[in-house]
Amino acid sequence: MTISIPIGPQHPALKESTNLTVKVDGEKIVGIDMRLGYNHRGIEKAAEQ
């Protein structure tokens, strides 16, 4: 029996935009669905100076 466990932000206003859905069979991880977002924090612009 495979169970899906969502891991990620509970509210869209949170800073990190990573969302994982882990599929497990007992204690063994059998799959993962990763949805990675992008938050622009101006790091590239700060590195120019």
Give the domain ranges of the chain. Answer: 3-48
For 9-27, the DSSP string reads: -SSTTSS--EEEEEEEETT
β 28-36/3-7 pair status: unpaired
β 18-25/3-7 pair status: antiparallel
pTM for the full predicted model: 0.56
More confident residue, 36 or 16: 36
More confident residue, 46 or 27: 27
Gap between the Cα atoms of 45 and 17, Å rounded: 21
Identify the pLDDT of residue 36: 77
Look up residue 14 and give its amino acid.
Answer: L
Which residue in this structure is represented by tokens 């495979």? 2
